[in-house]
Amino acid sequence: MAAARARESEHPYRLFNDPLATALAGPEGFSWLERMEPVPRFGGPALYVVVRTRFFDDFLLYASWGAGLRQVVILAAGMDARAFRLDWPPGTQLYELDRPEVLASAGARPACERHAVGADLRHPSWAEELLDAGYEDREPSVWLVEGLLFYMTGDAVRKLFEMAGTLAVPRSLLGLDLVNRDLLNYPTMRPLLAAFAQRGASGVCGRA
């Protein structure tokens, strides 16, 4: 994902700029990207990542600047680097939740008050860890669940949102992406799914 964002950032008419993506991707990330690129005329998984990134960048900035929300919660944040590369309003508190070994360590100064919360989202304890990090459950917030639900069972998804629902008050916003079985069985997705499966991260709803 970081490699795809790095490639997009090189274009003169790019949809976004992620100056940290190259370092976060490393040689392994670019090697993966090259193996996953399918028939050029379809764009492939990298194009999906690029469009999705811009869409959710705009969503989060609208929630912050337009709707006035100052708490941002990103579940499965990984290496998206939004804490560093987006123009956040003053006073923004951004909470990134992911496994400790996955959370980006960008080595740069964030553009908001960043809270990296090492947590396993499969277990309800993540909610307590979020609260311990300073999240205020009496204030509205914006939540982003990007590129995560594809890996979870239906029961796990329901539990995740039930827990999030206890922490979100009226005026809160939620952004997420979903993919169906048809997309995951599409030929151009096979390189991506094969690469994920080799690393033990095969998608749940893509299984026949």
Residue-level pLDDT at 41:
43
Residue-level pLDDT at 183:
67
Pairing of strands 113-118, 93-98: parallel
> pLDDT tens, position by position, for the chain (208 residues)?
888 999 999 999 999 999 999 988 889 888 877 776 654 544 566 788 899 999 999 999 999 999 999 999 999 998 889 999 999 999 999 999 998 877 766 668 899 999 999 999 989 999 999 999 999 999 999 999 998 998 888 899 999 999 999 999 999 999 999 877 776 676 766 666 666 666 665 555 544 3
Per the DSSP assignment, residues forming a β-bridge with 96 are: 74, 116
Element (H, E) at 130: helix 125-132
Residue-level pLDDT at 188:
63
Strand ranges inside the chain, DSSP E? 71-75, 93-98, 113-118, 142-145, 173-176
Please tell me the class of the 2-198 domain: alpha beta
- Count CA atoms within 13 Å of residue 111 on its CB side: 11
**Cβ partners under 8 Å of residue 176, min gap 6:** 144, 145, 146, 148, 149
Cα gap 77→98, rounded to integer Å = 6
Taking alpha carbons only, the member of 141, 95, 142 closest to residue 121 is 95
Residue 108 token pair = 């740069």
User: What helix, strand, coil percent values describe the chain, rounded to 5?
Assistant: 45, 10, 40
pTM (2 d.p.): 0.86
**Cβ partners under 8 Å of residue 151, min gap 6:** 201, 203, 204
**Cβ partners under 8 Å of residue 46, min gap 6:** 4, 7, 33, 36, 37
